Chains A and B, each alone.
Chain A
Amino acid sequence: MLVLALDTSTPAVTAGVVELGPDGAETRAERVTVDARAHGELLTPHLLEAVGAAGIALNDLAAVVCGSGPGPFTGLRAGLATAASLGQVLDVPVYPVCGLDAIAAEASVQAKLLVVTDARRREVYWAVYDADGTRLHGPAVDRPDEIDLTGVEYVAGHGVQVYPDAFELTAVEPWYPSPRGLVLAAADELRSGADPAPLTARYLRRPDAQEPGRPKRVLV
């Protein structure tokens, strides 16, 4: 089955066409630009280019997979809004996947793995996976020094590039969720044709908003 994979949960604007078979997934075409300020601009052009480069039409797609975060809010929403609209027009299911899972799915280590991406404000979005890729902890958002790294040997994700001294672990690729990783992270649901989970963003933080106090006095 041909699956369109989208992700905007990191500075990478990612779109790709992946063919998912019974035993694996193969990237047919992808377009990726690393620019944290271009998610709203580039995602749709990228996905059209990827579909064109794969030699298919949008109507050939059987499903859409979209990274649902965690990630910086504004960029994250660009991907989810795009995926939801495509799914509505093409009448195909849209599967949300945790972007950290997509990174873990492509990190070829057979040991306990930490995945971190930049959450700004000196924090990272993170999750920990065991040797067979099962998520043990997270996703969560914390300062790097607050994460329990017991037994963890490797770290993947671009958080390690943003905080190079924060983790005494062996850094491995990928830095960003790839189309293939996104599809692998949703492979079971895609293959079984399960009903997709609601396409909601994993923000992990509440909006910054403060209730106002009494109006300021204006007379001295």
Chain B
Amino acid sequence: MAKIIMGIETSCDETGVGLVRLHDDGTVELIADEVASSVEQHARFGGVVPEIASRAHLEAMAPTVRRAFDAAGLTLKDVDAVAVTAGPGLAGALLVGVAAAKAYAAALGVPLYGVNHLAGHVAVDTLEHGPLPTPCLALLVSGGHTQLLRVDDIAGKITELGSTVDDAAGEAYDKVARLLGLPYPGGPPIDKAAAGGDPEAIAFPRGMTGPRDAKYDFSFSGLKTAVARWVEAAERRGDEIPVADVCASFQEAVADVLTAKAVAAAAETGIDTLVISGGVAANSRLAGLARERCSAAGVRLRIPRPRLCTDNGAMIAALGAHVVAAGVPQSSLDFSAAPGLPVSTVTV
């Protein structure tokens, strides 16, 4: 019998509720994906304010659940298991989803699975492109995370090959947007401005690419400072800032390092599938350069559609379905939200 899995995500500023159907053959079908975002409340602060996000989650949780069931034409009583993001993420924000999910599972009398947000970003691709070949590589890029992963089993074995040593890629976008006077979040306006610019106009540095640097780690803090210095120097000279060229050159530096390291990992490990997910996966240059380089290297590239790349409940429901299918034991109802949960811990 097919099973209905509800997924709840509250690790940052999106309250996500997803519903999937786990079929007997192990395939997972998306049936509802509702998100309430507090992004507009954070915009004037230039980044996510944890307390504002947590308050918004509490207000949005029950209505978002209702919308998901209405969209699916199901009722809560149809749910066979609940999955919730246990971490990583903002402590106060995670706690709202975890508390709600425990109560849903307890009241419904169904198993609860506390799952890893990062693994969810990988699992969501199965909703669009079907079962994941394993092993595969995954590049997660968002406002909070930048990680290169080896996935041997989406329900149990994920290894971090590298991650950012300072800012996440999306964070660098937000900071660069701010110093150029572009709105928050910075990804979409920079991508748009970059379309009319020259990616080779300014040679911004490629962080962590020296011979002694960790092969699969990333750094974007130096890049952000380099852009700030370049812009400030131009201002001092009284030059008009060529926003399109700055955006295109910055974006090129980000996309170049991310894709070069991911493709190098594929070559070194012999793994022939790369999944790119997370909010920054929606970036046109990252996707474009990844397609070029993967195709040249003979690597199959999978990028979920933008709606699934950003934080949502469907990714948690999808991961929950794979965890249920794999027969992983359910979580205890007294588990803690884990703001620093490592990606190697897929379920708590």
Interface centre among A43, A73, A218 (most CB of B within 10 A): A218
Contact with A along B100-140 (1 / 0, CB 8 A): 11111011100000000000000000000000000000000
Q: Which residue of A lies closest to B108 (CB)?
A: A89
Contact across chains for B62 and A88 when beta carbons are under 8 A apart = yes
The CA of A41 and the CA of B334, in the complex, are separated in Å by 4
Q: Which of A78, A86, A210, A218 is within 8 Å of B95, CB to CB?
A: A78
Contact across chains for A219 and B232 when beta carbons are under 8 A apart = yes
Whether, in the assembled complex, A90 has its beta carbon less than 8 Å from a beta carbon of chain B, the answer is yes
The CA of A89 and the CA of B51, in the complex, are separated in Å by 27
Whether, in the assembled complex, B300 has its beta carbon less than 8 Å from a beta carbon of chain A, the answer is no
The CA of A200 and the CA of B104, in the complex, are separated in Å by 19
Contacts of B44 in A (CB 8 A): 211
Q: Using A89-B104, A219-B229 as known contacts, say yes or no to A77 and B54 having CB atoms under 8 A apart.
A: yes
Give the interface segment out of A20-28, A147-155, A201-209: A201-209
Q: Which residue of A lies closest to B176 (CB)?
A: A215
Whether, in the assembled complex, A42 has its beta carbon less than 8 Å from a beta carbon of chain B, the answer is yes
Q: Which of A39, A41, A45, A82 is within 8 Å of B100, CB to CB?
A: A82
Whether, in the assembled complex, B158 has its beta carbon less than 8 Å from a beta carbon of chain A, the answer is no
Whether, in the assembled complex, A84 has its beta carbon less than 8 Å from a beta carbon of chain B, the answer is yes
Whether, in the assembled complex, B148 has its beta carbon less than 8 Å from a beta carbon of chain A, the answer is no
Q: Which residue of A lies closest to B8 (CB)?
A: A85
Whether, in the assembled complex, B66 has its beta carbon less than 8 Å from a beta carbon of chain A, the answer is yes
Contact across chains for B55 and A215 when beta carbons are under 8 A apart = no
Contacts of A209 in B (CB 8 A): 45, 49, 51-52
Interface residues contributed by chain A, number (CB under 8 Å): 38
Q: What is the CB-to-nearest-CB distance from A18 to chain B, in angstroms, rounded to a whole number?
A: 18
Whether, in the assembled complex, A119 has its beta carbon less than 8 Å from a beta carbon of chain B, the answer is no
Contact across chains for B100 and A81 when beta carbons are under 8 A apart = yes
Contact across chains for B62 and A85 when beta carbons are under 8 A apart = yes
Whether, in the assembled complex, A140 has its beta carbon less than 8 Å from a beta carbon of chain B, the answer is no
Contact across chains for B51 and A73 when beta carbons are under 8 A apart = yes
Whether, in the assembled complex, B242 has its beta carbon less than 8 Å from a beta carbon of chain A, the answer is no
Contact across chains for B233 and A215 when beta carbons are under 8 A apart = no
Contact across chains for A210 and B61 when beta carbons are under 8 A apart = no
Contacts of B51 in A (CB 8 A): 73, 207-209
Interface residues contributed by chain B, number (CB under 8 Å): 46
Contact across chains for B92 and A73 when beta carbons are under 8 A apart = yes
Whether, in the assembled complex, B212 has its beta carbon less than 8 Å from a beta carbon of chain A, the answer is no
Contact with B along A44-59 (1 / 0, CB 8 A): 1101100000000010
| Overall SS of chain A's interface | helix
Contact with B along A15-35 (1 / 0, CB 8 A): 000000000000000000000
Whether, in the assembled complex, B59 has its beta carbon less than 8 Å from a beta carbon of chain A, the answer is yes
Q: Which residue of A lies closest to B112 (CB)?
A: A44
Whether, in the assembled complex, A80 has its beta carbon less than 8 Å from a beta carbon of chain B, the answer is yes
Contact across chains for A85 and B100 when beta carbons are under 8 A apart = yes
Q: Using A48-B333, A200-B59 as known contacts, say yes or no to A207 and B52 having CB atoms under 8 A apart.
A: yes
Contact across chains for B178 and A215 when beta carbons are under 8 A apart = yes
Q: Which of B103, B228, B229 is within 8 Å of A44, CB to CB?
A: B103
Q: Using A42-B334, A45-B334 as known contacts, say yes or no to A207 and B103 having CB atoms under 8 A apart.
A: no
Contacts of B229 in A (CB 8 A): 218-219
Contact across chains for A210 and B45 when beta carbons are under 8 A apart = yes
The CA of A47 and the CA of B107, in the complex, are separated in Å by 10
Contact across chains for B225 and A74 when beta carbons are under 8 A apart = no
Contact across chains for A85 and B107 when beta carbons are under 8 A apart = yes
Contact across chains for B91 and A74 when beta carbons are under 8 A apart = yes
Contact across chains for B100 and A84 when beta carbons are under 8 A apart = yes
Contacts of A73 in B (CB 8 A): 51, 54-55, 92
Contact across chains for B108 and A81 when beta carbons are under 8 A apart = no
Whether, in the assembled complex, A212 has its beta carbon less than 8 Å from a beta carbon of chain B, the answer is yes
Contacts of B102 in A (CB 8 A): 43-44, 82
Q: What is the CB-to-nearest-CB distance from B154 to chain A, in angstroms, rounded to a whole number?
A: 26
Interface centre among B44, B61, B92, B106 (most CB of A within 10 A): B106
Q: Which residue of A lies closest to B226 (CB)?
A: A218
Q: Which residue of B lies closest to A6 (CB)?
A: B103
Q: Which residues of B contact A (CB under 8 A)?
A: 44-46, 49, 51-52, 54-55, 57-59, 61-62, 65-66, 76-77, 91-92, 95-104, 106-108, 175, 178-179, 225, 228-229, 232-233, 236, 333-337
Q: Which residues of A contact B (CB under 8 A)?
A: 39-45, 47-48, 58, 73-74, 77-86, 88-90, 200-201, 203, 207-212, 215, 217-219
Closest 4 CB pairs of A and B: A85-B103, A89-B107, A207-B51, A44-B102
Q: Apart from A82-B103, A88-B104, what 10 extra A-B contacts exist at CB < 8 Å?
A: A41-B334, A41-B335, A43-B99, A73-B51, A79-B99, A80-B58, A81-B97, A209-B49, A212-B46, A219-B232
| A to B CB contacts below 8 Å, 28 in the list | A40-B336, A40-B337, A41-B334, A41-B336, A43-B99, A44-B99, A44-B102, A44-B106, A44-B333, A48-B106, A58-B106, A58-B107, A74-B54, A77-B96, A78-B96, A78-B99, A85-B100, A85-B101, A89-B103, A90-B107, A201-B55, A207-B52, A207-B55, A212-B178, A215-B179, A218-B232, A219-B229, A219-B232
